[in-house]
Chain A
């Protein structure tokens, strides 16, 4: 069995503070995994470790069977892993179309070419149009990214993440700051654009988590205390105690389907 993402006893310290304390996790190919946990549990740090923004202090991380230790973010991206950001991280002075095309170029082999015109890059342009349709921004293609609405920026964020065709997708709180109806639509969008891919997502909205994930990893104080199907995680007393009990009660009280 080969795993898309594999964490082996990963530890990460900032100064004397250990944020990730021996996290292990094996995500199968094509699986959708949500990582949940209280604030400060190290969810974002974990994402930053997997995507190469930070380097693990000890332990090993494998993407598609290869270790990413010491590799830079762009190298990990070329290995087939792409991530989104909690705060929209776009090319604000470029149009929607250009934003996506920039994310397509490397995967189509254009590298640093200055002897080919973008207008002639048919495969890259076609792929860009395809992605724009998927994220439903094809009508907004010439608008500058800075002039988009918040929900559109979130969609573009996802678009940039999937455009390069990576098979492992990391989404960092994709629905943060969205209204309930927007969230519902957005979860559908995420489902569509990640068909056949491995998905890891950090999410606070339990409705999204239970609606989207095949398995849920619960991270508490830098340790994975549970990694199982939604039903099993919900029934897990340790999880109840550490985190989920209060959140679930809250979610049920507010009428969310969990």
Chain B
């Protein structure tokens, strides 16, 4: 049979091809999204990719749930911006393009110091200690305004000295390409890490720390070293952010930033190497775009997170990989009607929910502007019971439809998976 010889391994399609495409995307992106907002977002995505990947060295590869990753990106930012200011004052000669490395070394040093304590424990205790360290650094930021800049933060100017080869890092696009370069190298380095003895033992520690102790490895050492590597790349991301924004405020070491890393790495998918890259893109879109569109953006993020944890705990990356598997066995076509139903019902549910959420926010925050608000181009009167009834009706219908569609999808999906399992068994038996 033809299906016997048909094999599809997405992780084998030619690694060089994937990396070339990645490089090409980084190079071409600012030529496609040429607006100033586009460039701003691309720069932030590049930084977020490094930060999220560095977080996943801990979470996905080492099984370390850190609640304080912003400590290392943030301290990297502060050290970087102080170095930049020193350089600008002529006290310290360092090219601007190497400032992110200063951030990286700072992240590394703090991870070595704080991580030595943190990584003594694993599991829940580890998570609690990272939370404590995060709060500690956050409170330090209030106590040491000389270093953290107090309320106003530390600002700087990245254009120092004479331009080298016409590059002054004044225009945003030049900063973007610096970020893109760091992003590519850091991503490649962190991928390479997963192919080394250190990277593999980190996976082993994640799966079964107890057994690792009995095959000659000190789990604390493995965790501590991974923590330092993670801190180094986190610091690079922080240093790039300092260059990008030319201002660093205390909130970059705060708990909400740490929470964002955790949330979006999870959303992107911690079990696959490329998951955090998706998470990083979602993070910037979520924080920059969504917050432009609606005041309720955090509420939506919470909802998305909730749905993801309930229905796809492996994140977007696992959704992609599971569907690739179905496609590899030529069964994706069978699912597309179910997907269509799921999509239609989901859109209805979202529309109803969004209308209700927006109306609640309007009543709470913008009541002074009158009862009529604009929702996707349509005027909604929040004072009229009919509007509420309509919105709730759409919401309820959407929810009902979604549940029905979800059940039929789950059924169909289960059948397809069963067939694939059988097919795999059959091939093994050959």
Asked if B81 CB lies within 8 Å of chain A CBs, one says no
Asked if A150 CB lies within 8 Å of chain B CBs, one says no
Asked if B311 CB lies within 8 Å of chain A CBs, one says no
Complex interface: chain A residues within 8 A of B196 (CB): 113-118
Q: Least Cβ distance of A249 to chain B in Å?
A: 37
Asked if B211 CB lies within 8 Å of chain A CBs, one says yes
Query: Is the pair B218, A74 in contact by a Cβ cutoff of 8 Å?
Result: yes
Contact with A along B228-265 (1 / 0, CB 8 A): 01000000000000000000000000000000000000
Query: Is the pair A90, B197 in contact by a Cβ cutoff of 8 Å?
Result: no
Asked if A160 CB lies within 8 Å of chain B CBs, one says yes
Instruction: Name B387-424 residues within 8 Å CB distance of A.
Output: none
Asked if B222 CB lies within 8 Å of chain A CBs, one says yes
Complex interface: chain A residues within 8 A of B221 (CB): 112
Complex interface: chain A residues within 8 A of B192 (CB): 117
Q: Give the residue among B199, B212, B216 with the most A Cβ atoms within 10 A.
A: B216
Docked complex Cα distance between A164 and B214 (Å): 10
Interface size class of B (residues with CB under 8 A): 20 to 34
Complex interface: chain A residues within 8 A of B215 (CB): 74, 77, 82, 102-103, 106, 160, 163-164
Query: Is the pair A113, B197 in contact by a Cβ cutoff of 8 Å?
Result: yes
Contact with B along A70-81 (1 / 0, CB 8 A): 001110011000
Query: Is the pair B197, A105 in contact by a Cβ cutoff of 8 Å?
Result: yes
Query: Is the pair A89, B200 in contact by a Cβ cutoff of 8 Å?
Result: no
Docked complex Cα distance between A73 and B218 (Å): 9
Q: Which of B42-50, B128-136, B159-167, B202-210 contacts A (4 or more CB under 8 A)?
A: B202-210
Asked if B312 CB lies within 8 Å of chain A CBs, one says no
Instruction: Name A41-85 residues within 8 Å CB distance of B.
Output: 51, 72-74, 77-78, 82-83, 85
Say what secondary structure dominates the interface of chain B.
helix
Asked if B201 CB lies within 8 Å of chain A CBs, one says yes
Q: Least Cβ distance of A89 to chain B in Å?
A: 5
Docked complex Cα distance between A96 and B222 (Å): 21
Q: How many residue-residue contacts, CB under 8 A, span A and B?
A: 94
Query: Is the pair B208, A90 in contact by a Cβ cutoff of 8 Å?
Result: yes
Choose one: A85, A89, A94, A110; the contact of B197 (CB below 8 Å): A110
Q: Can you name the residue of chain B whose Cβ is closest to the Cβ of A101?
A: B200
Query: Is the pair A118, B213 in contact by a Cβ cutoff of 8 Å?
Result: no
Asked if B333 CB lies within 8 Å of chain A CBs, one says no
Complex interface: chain B residues within 8 A of A93 (CB): 203, 206-207
Complex interface: chain B residues within 8 A of A194 (CB): none
Given contacts A73-B213, A77-B214, A77-B215, contact A94 B229 (CB under 8 A): no
Asked if B427 CB lies within 8 Å of chain A CBs, one says no
How many residues in A have their beta carbons less than 8 Å from beta carbons of B? 36
Docked complex Cα distance between A51 and B196 (Å): 28
Given contacts A72-B213, A82-B215, A102-B215, contact A114 B197 (CB under 8 A): yes
Query: Is the pair B216, A78 in contact by a Cβ cutoff of 8 Å?
Result: yes
Q: Least Cβ distance of B405 to chain A in Å?
A: 31
Docked complex Cα distance between A121 and B195 (Å): 11
Asked if A111 CB lies within 8 Å of chain B CBs, one says yes
Given contacts A73-B213, A164-B215, contact A89 B198 (CB under 8 A): no
Q: Can you name the residue of chain A whose Cβ is closest to the Cβ of B203?
A: A94
Choose one: B204, B214, B222, B225; the contact of A91 (CB below 8 Å): B204
Docked complex Cα distance between A163 and B208 (Å): 17
Docked complex Cα distance between A105 and B216 (Å): 9
Q: Can you name the residue of chain B whose Cβ is closest to the Cβ of A146?
A: B207
Query: Is the pair B208, A92 in contact by a Cβ cutoff of 8 Å?
Result: yes
Q: Least Cβ distance of A183 to chain B in Å?
A: 24
Query: Is the pair A114, B198 in contact by a Cβ cutoff of 8 Å?
Result: yes
Query: Is the pair B207, A51 in contact by a Cβ cutoff of 8 Å?
Result: no
Docked complex Cα distance between A103 and B200 (Å): 11
Complex interface: chain B residues within 8 A of A74 (CB): 212-218
Docked complex Cα distance between A226 and B400 (Å): 72
Contact with A along B187-198 (1 / 0, CB 8 A): 000001101111
Docked complex Cα distance between A102 and B196 (Å): 11
Complex interface: chain A residues within 8 A of B200 (CB): 94, 98, 101-102, 105, 118
Query: Is the pair B216, A77 in contact by a Cβ cutoff of 8 Å?
Result: yes
Q: Can you name the residue of chain B whose Cβ is closest to the Cβ of A85?
A: B211
Choose one: A73, A91, A110; the contact of B203 (CB below 8 Å): A91
Q: Can you name the residue of chain A whose Cβ is closest to the Cβ of B197?
A: A110
Docked complex Cα distance between A102 and B215 (Å): 8
Query: Is the pair A112, B216 in contact by a Cβ cutoff of 8 Å?
Result: no
Contact with B along A112-142 (1 / 0, CB 8 A): 1111111101000000000000000000000
Query: Is the pair B222, A112 in contact by a Cβ cutoff of 8 Å?
Result: yes
Asked if A29 CB lies within 8 Å of chain B CBs, one says no
Given contacts A73-B214, A160-B215, contact A112 B195 (CB under 8 A): no
Complex interface: chain A residues within 8 A of B204 (CB): 91, 94, 102
Complex interface: chain A residues within 8 A of B218 (CB): 72, 74
Q: Give the residue among A72, A83, A101, A118 with the most B Cβ atoms within 10 A.
A: A118
Contact with B along A175-205 (1 / 0, CB 8 A): 0000000000000000000000000000000
Query: Is the pair A106, B216 in contact by a Cβ cutoff of 8 Å?
Result: yes
Asked if A107 CB lies within 8 Å of chain B CBs, one says yes
Chain B residues near A (Cβ < 8 Å): 192-193, 195-201, 203-204, 206-208, 210-218, 221-222, 225, 229
Q: Which 4 A-B pairs have the closest CB atoms?
A: A106-B216, A114-B198, A110-B197, A91-B207
Some 11 contacts from A to B, beta carbons below 8 A apart, are: A74-B218, A83-B214, A102-B204, A103-B215, A105-B217, A111-B197, A112-B201, A113-B197, A114-B197, A117-B195, A118-B200
**Given A51-B214, A73-B213, A114-B193; 7 other pairs, CB 8 A cutoff:** A74-B214, A77-B216, A82-B215, A90-B207, A101-B200, A106-B216, A116-B196
